[in-house]
Amino acid sequence: MLDLGSGAGTDSLVAAQMVGDEGRVVGIDMTPEMLAKARAAAAEMGAGNVEFVEGEGERLPFADGSFDVVISNGVIDLIPDKDAVFAELFRVLAPGGRMQIADVTIQNPVSAEGRRNIDTYARSKFEDTRRKAEKFGARGTTTKAFKPK
């Protein structure tokens, strides 16, 4: 499993517990400070099935089809060249693999109309991400919008 933008390693470490000794998790992040935190947390947990590497989403240092699962939490929206990142994610995703992306997508102030219809506004932002993913081969995509109560 690949965790794009793993940061301090929280999602990677949860995934490492879920996949157990038979699985392998790789977290990739562009920030050395976050990688140091992630590695320290993995060592503290004794997680031997997870590693953290430095890199960027637009140029992943992995062979084609290396991962059955790709996750990314709160990172895709921060990458300017979304076509490049999706091309790379689908390149390293094994045939039949799964991808899970969670992201905050609001980049500009929400208009008064948008605030009145926040579900429609959020859905349109998610649709843009879905279309980008489908351009590179995603099938059966679903989007879910969550809003604070």
Q: Is residue 131 included in any domain, yes or no?
A: yes
Q: Is 110 helix (H, G, I), strand (E, B) or coil?
A: coil
Q: Would 147 be classed as within a structural domain?
A: no
In a domain, 13, yes or no: yes
Within a domain: 144: no
Provide the CATH number for the domain around residue 131: 3.40.50.150
What pLDDT does 74 receive?
Answer: 85
On whether the CB atoms of residues 39 and 61 are closer than 8 A, the answer is no
pLDDT digits over 36-79, tens only? 999 999 999 999 999 999 999 999 999 999 999 999 998 887 88
Let me know if residue 76 belongs to a domain: yes
In a domain? residue 100: yes
Confirm whether 145 is domain-assigned: no
pLDDT of residue 149: 58
| Structural domain for 127, as ranges | 2-135
In this structure, is residue 6 part of a structural domain?
Answer: yes
Domains contained in the chain, number: 1
